[in-house]
Amino acid sequence: MSKTSPRLTPLTPAQLSGAPKTLYDAVVDSPRAQGPGRNILIREDGSLCGPFDAWLRSPGIGLHFERAGMALREETSMDAAVREVAVLTVARAWNIDFEFQVHAMVAKMQGVPDDAIDAIARGDTPRFERDDLQAAYNIARELVFQRRVTDATFAAAQKALGEQATIEVVTHVGFYQMVSGVLTAFDPPVPSVEVPAPHLDSAAMPLPIDLFEAISTTRAVRKLRPDPVSDDQINRALKLASFAPSGGNRQPWQVIVVRDADKKAKMGELYAPLWDQYAAVGRKALEGLPEEKAGPTLRALDAGDHLSKNFAQIPVVCVFVFNPALLHITDQGYDRPSVVGGGSIYPAVQNFLLGCRAEGLGCTLTTLLCEKEKEIRDLLGFPEEWGTAAFVPVGYPVGRGHGPLSRRDVSNLAHLDVFGARPMEEDPS
Ligand SMILES: Cc1cc2nc3c(=O)[nH]c(=O)nc-3n(C[C@H](O)[C@H](O)[C@H](O)COP(=O)(O)O)c2cc1C
């Protein structure tokens, strides 16, 4: 949750009557608001932290959820430490500082070891001595990150927790997914007091998205809104870039995250004539073709015009540069362009695109500016021996953004044993 001001003006007790007041009283009189939790839940002006301030405006559902939260806490067979491990896993997945801090405090009181809490905060996998805590973590993690539960994890949970507590842990995870959605959407007020618990490094944990869905929908998104993109979002996408393979694991690339308006405007000036020339050739090649053949490419070229004209307004341009001295290029001796060197750079760029996709950000791998390497070097100050590999404009999409791709079937790309022999057929499932 960001530290921006709440999206709803917090309600104080004096403003409440009827059902909202009934809900307010239920919250402040509940066991969760007694003891050290009270100052975290109730602010100095009496307004409520967590999801409750939002629910005061829809007390019909708020009353049910308040009771459901208490039932999960007070009327279940789940051990309190098990319960808190499950919540911490959800809070970590959603990157919600407040939720994590509050529950880290409770988790400590319930005997969850500090090193496990710190590991969850870092995005690492905690190792518990207690089987029930490990089972709760594993099942919660699979649910929130993979949206499935493997047979092995389910069996381990049944064994360590028993049937009833397994059902309760899964339900608890679902409840806190809903609470996390409310906290994320409304950015409610944070406590008046300092909560002594670890802050989450939001860059450490990429957002959960199905791998197949991400890869099969990451297309060139060239129409971008000028709305700001946070450093956290770029850092999370770059974290994925950093996981890419490279020859000898030398990672021969660096990235310059360009936000400066003058630098982006200069890049746009350099890009426009290159794009115009490229697009003119592309449009000429489409002349006379029927709409069903030419249409998609013409629309992509129009989007490219938009990108070219609006380069200065793109919130972020990530420029991937590389050091040729770190490349082991195994195909240089042939009478054709060498490609192997790029294999240590472009997987990182693709991972970055996927990271942007996971953040809901549009982006496109572009290379036209590599023709202006000298001017780009003067502008961005990378060393003489380094070269440019890719320029990735990033921003929220104007329209739908990422979506289905038009690509050849596997049967047109893959061959069994010998080139040109029987193609590999796609699995119809
Ligand atoms: C090596 C490479 C260079 C590219 N250069 C540019 C570029 O300079 N400008 C641009 O608008 N798109 C560029 N693209 C994006 C491609 O045009 C795009 O990936 C392709 O048309 C498929 O589009 P889709 O992913 O939207 O289906 C480049 C892509 C690659 C892989």
With bands split at pLDDT 50, 70 and 90, how would you rate the model's confidence at 403? confident
Ligand 1 atom 9: residue of nearest CA: 366
- Overall pTM surpassing 0.75 (yes/no): no
More confident residue, 255 or 197: 255
pLDDT by residue (tens digit) across 315-333? 999 999 999 999 999 999 9
What is the number of the ligand 1 atom nearest to the C-alpha of 406? 27
> Can you tell me the mean pLDDT for 301-310?
98
With bands split at pLDDT 50, 70 and 90, how would you rate the model's confidence at 379? very high
Least confident of 42-56, 67-81, 187-201, 381-395: 187-201
> Can you tell me the mean pLDDT for 121-132?
89
Question: Can you tell me the distance from the alpha carbon of 205 to that of 398, in angstroms, rounded to the nearest whole number?
Answer: 26
Least confident of 121-125, 262-266, 292-296, 383-387: 121-125
- Mean pLDDT, the chain, rounded, equals 92
How far is C-alpha 83 from the geometric centre of its chain's CA atoms?
A: 25
Question: Can you tell me the distance from the alpha carbon of 376 to that of 167, in angstroms, rounded to the nearest whole number?
Answer: 58
pLDDT at 1 over 50: no
Residue of 307, 364, 368, 400 to mutate, ligand 1, most atoms within 8 A of C-beta: 364
Question: Can you tell me the distance from the alpha carbon of 313 to that of 280, in angstroms, rounded to the nearest whole number?
Answer: 24
Ligand 1 atom 13: residue of nearest CA: 366
Contact 317, 391 (CB under 8 A): yes
> What domains sit in the chain, N to C, each tagged with a CATH number?
13-202 (1.20.1290.10), 211-412 (3.40.109.10)
Residue of 366, 407, 408 to mutate, ligand 1, most atoms within 8 A of C-beta: 366
Ligand 1 atom 11: residue of nearest CA: 304
pLDDT at 428 over 70: no
Amino acid at 202: S
Residue 220 CA to ligand 1 centre (angstroms): 6
Residue 262 CA to ligand 1 centre (angstroms): 25
Ligand 1 atom 21: residue of nearest CA: 220
Residue 58 CA to ligand 1 centre (angstroms): 47
Question: Half-sphere exposure of 62 toward its Cβ, with a 13 Å CA cutoff?
Answer: 21
Res 210: pLDDT? 79
pLDDT by residue (tens digit) across 88-119? 999 999 988 889 988 999 999 999 999 999 98
Sequence-distant (≥ 6) Cβ neighbours of residue 19 within 8 angstroms: 59, 60, 63
Ligand 1 atom 29: residue of nearest CA: 365
pLDDT by residue (tens digit) across 258-305? 999 999 999 999 999 999 999 999 999 999 999 989 999 999 999 999
What is the number of the ligand 1 atom nearest to the C-alpha of 346? 1
Res 2: pLDDT? 42
Question: Can you tell me the distance from the alpha carbon of 288 to that of 284, in angstroms, rounded to the nearest whole number?
Answer: 9
Res 115: pLDDT? 94
